[in-house]
Amino acid sequence: MLKMSDSDANFGSSEAEMESDDSMVSQATDARLVEQARRGDTAAFGQLAQRYERRVIKVIRRFMPDRDLSLDLAQESFLKAFDRLEQFDPSRRFGPWMFRIAVNTTYDHLRKIKRKGKWALFSEAGEDRVPDPAAADPRGDLDLSQEVHIVLADIPEAYRTVLVLRDLEGFSTSEVAAVTERSEATIRWRLAEARRMFKDAWERRDRSIEEEKLG
């Protein structure tokens, strides 16, 4: 059996401590920037936006693959955050609050599209290849990521959000709980349910496609 040397064991511990220290520094920096922004320092908020922009866009694209639209929604999310800074609880972390605004902004947009009867998951160039009903396999022009987006759309929002943040974006259970303002126990339960829903929806889609292929 392999055994860790003292140096190996200490390395793991030191690495965890370093990550914890980095997280504490990041939170302290966020808190300072938020306080400055609340006093009217727009440059401070600009720094916050730069710190979170890439991750916010990445999260939004899990729900809305259109790149240009994702950029617009990210900008809208940061504008909302800036306008609502007075509502932010400084005793909490900025990151989860920012991601919550981004997710809610994205869902608001998706609801508007759906109400207008223009529900379309893929409008970005190169990603708008809707399967041809006459094709032997309706999924022939879709890659795996598009398949996942289509199936995710069938999952209720509360569960979809947990599944996307936890399984696709790698947020920890505690981070998802902070973003959604739910307990960790609730997040674990919703994640289990979301995974079951996704599996069922994927299998239903497979069966439907097989039936179409058989005529």
**14's torsion region: left (phi>0), alpha (psi -120 to 50) or beta?**
alpha
Residue 161 counted as domain residue? yes
Of 120, 137, 160, the one marking the end of a domain is 120
- Measured in degrees and rounded to the nearest 5, phi and psi for residue 138 equal -60, -15
Residue with tokens 């994927």: 202
Domain that holds residue 60: 27-120
Task: Count up the domains in the chain and report the number.
Answer: 2
| Nearest in space to 48 (alpha carbons), one of 97, 107, 108, 87 | 97
Residue 8 counted as domain residue? no
If asked whether residues 137 and 112 sit together in one domain, one would say: no
Rounded-to-integer distance, Cα 136 and Cα 2, Å: 53
If asked whether residues 206 and 185 sit together in one domain, one would say: yes
If asked whether residues 74 and 139 sit together in one domain, one would say: no
If asked whether residues 41 and 98 sit together in one domain, one would say: yes
Residue 20 counted as domain residue? no
CATH number at residue 111: 1.10.1740.10
If asked whether residues 109 and 138 sit together in one domain, one would say: no
Q: What is the pLDDT of residue 27?
A: 72
If asked whether residues 133 and 50 sit together in one domain, one would say: no
If asked whether residues 136 and 213 sit together in one domain, one would say: yes
Residue 53 counted as domain residue? yes
Q: What is the pLDDT of residue 15?
A: 38
If asked whether residues 76 and 56 sit together in one domain, one would say: yes
If asked whether residues 145 and 74 sit together in one domain, one would say: no
Residue 91 counted as domain residue? yes
CATH number at residue 169: 1.10.10.10
If asked whether residues 72 and 90 sit together in one domain, one would say: yes
Residue 184 counted as domain residue? yes
Instruction: Kindly report, residue by residue over 98-135, the tens digit of the pLDDT.
Output: 999 999 999 999 888 877 664 444 333 334 333 343 44
Sites in the chain below the pLDDT cut of 70: 1-26, 28, 116-143, 215
Amino acid letter, residue 70? S
Tokens standing for 208? Answer: 């439907």
Residue 3 counted as domain residue? no
If asked whether residues 140 and 103 sit together in one domain, one would say: no
Which residues lie below 8 Å from residue 60, measured CB to CB, with a gap of 6+? 70, 73, 74, 77, 102, 103, 106
Rounded-to-integer distance, Cα 196 and Cα 181, Å: 22
Q: What is the pLDDT of residue 116?
A: 67
DSSP state of 153: T
Amino acid letter, residue 6? D
- pTM tops 0.75, yes or no: no
Q: What is the pLDDT of residue 131?
A: 38
Q: What is the pLDDT of residue 8?
A: 35
Rounded-to-integer distance, Cα 210 and Cα 215, Å: 9
Residue 4 counted as domain residue? no
Rounded-to-integer distance, Cα 108 and Cα 58, Å: 17
Amino acid letter, residue 200? D
How many residues would you count in the chain? 215
Rounded-to-integer distance, Cα 7 and Cα 69, Å: 49
Rounded-to-integer distance, Cα 84 and Cα 206, Å: 44
Amino acid letter, residue 205? R
Q: What is the pLDDT of residue 149?
A: 85
If asked whether residues 83 and 135 sit together in one domain, one would say: no
